[in-house]
A and B are shown apart, each in its own frame.
Chain A
Amino acid sequence: KQEVTQIPAALSVPEGENLVLNCSFTDSAIYNLQWFRQDPGKGLTSLLLIQSSQREQTSGRLNASLDKSSGRSTLYIAASQPGDSATYLCAVDSWGKLQFGAGTQVVVTP
């Protein structure tokens, strides 16, 4: 069974620093990996989707890498802002269903 782990569970950084969020998964037979953002009490917003054949995907200040063979993905957020404070979840698409990590709660202090 696919297991997805996110470390650390929580992270606090001063504004302007780069954020590095980690996601690991146990079964490399994946279709893709998605990163989501969730604000308190709200639904999830898709940030990036990396297909299994891709090594990375970029959108603005966000960059996500994927190393399928080692079962790892990293989300980089450049020059963090207080508005980046949220919980970030990764999800692996295996066998047509998403398996989610528990998330990393990020606080960016002004």
Chain B
Amino acid sequence: DVKVTQSSRYLVKRTGEKVFLECVQDMDHENMFWYRQDPGLGLRLIYFSYDVKMKEKGDIPEGYSVSREKKERFSLILESASTNQTSMYLCASRLGGGNIQYFGAGTRLSVL
């Protein structure tokens, strides 16, 4: 079974903190994605990566950055957390274009 593992289920951070959300997949997938999910707004793509050291902006990249130094790991970084970044964050991966996308369990981040 494909496994996409997000490092934390719940996180509470203070405004202005630097926050790292980690995602690891065990299936040698090329593509990895970060989404946020908010009530009434649905799933929105923040950043994605087609391969190691590659990254592309999604629909809402402002306030976020990403890192993909190894194929299996894709990190989302909030440089200076703000309250409007309180959300559910979902990581996903897939083998390549046109293939099933697998999701992690999600990280619920609260920024106080």
Q: Bits for A97-110, please: 1 = Cβ < 8 Å to B, else 0.
A: 11011110000000
| Interfacial residues of chain A within 18-60, with CB under 8 A of chain B in the complex | 31-32, 34, 36, 41-46, 49, 51
Assess whether B101 is in contact with A43, with CB atoms less than 8 Å apart. no
Q: A49-B100, A51-B98 are in contact. Are A100 and B42 (CB under 8 A)?
A: yes
Pick the contact of A31: B98, B102, B106 (CB < 8 A). Answer: B98
Q: A43-B105, A44-B90 are in contact. Are A100 and B97 (CB under 8 A)?
A: no
Nearest chain B CB to A92's CB is how many angstroms away?
Answer: 12
Assess whether A96 is in contact with B97, with CB atoms less than 8 Å apart. yes
**Could you tell me the dominant secondary structure of chain A's interface residues?**
strand
**Could you tell me the dominant secondary structure of chain B's interface residues?**
strand
Give A20 to B105 CA distance when docked, in angstroms: 26
Assess whether B97 is in contact with A43, with CB atoms less than 8 Å apart. no
- Nearest to A93 among chain B residues (CB) is B98
Nearest chain B CB to A9's CB is how many angstroms away?
Answer: 11
- Nearest to B107 among chain A residues (CB) is A43
Assess whether A100 is in contact with B106, with CB atoms less than 8 Å apart. no
8 shortest interchain CB distances as A-B pairs: A43-B103, A44-B103, A100-B43, A43-B105, A102-B42, A43-B106, A31-B98, A46-B100
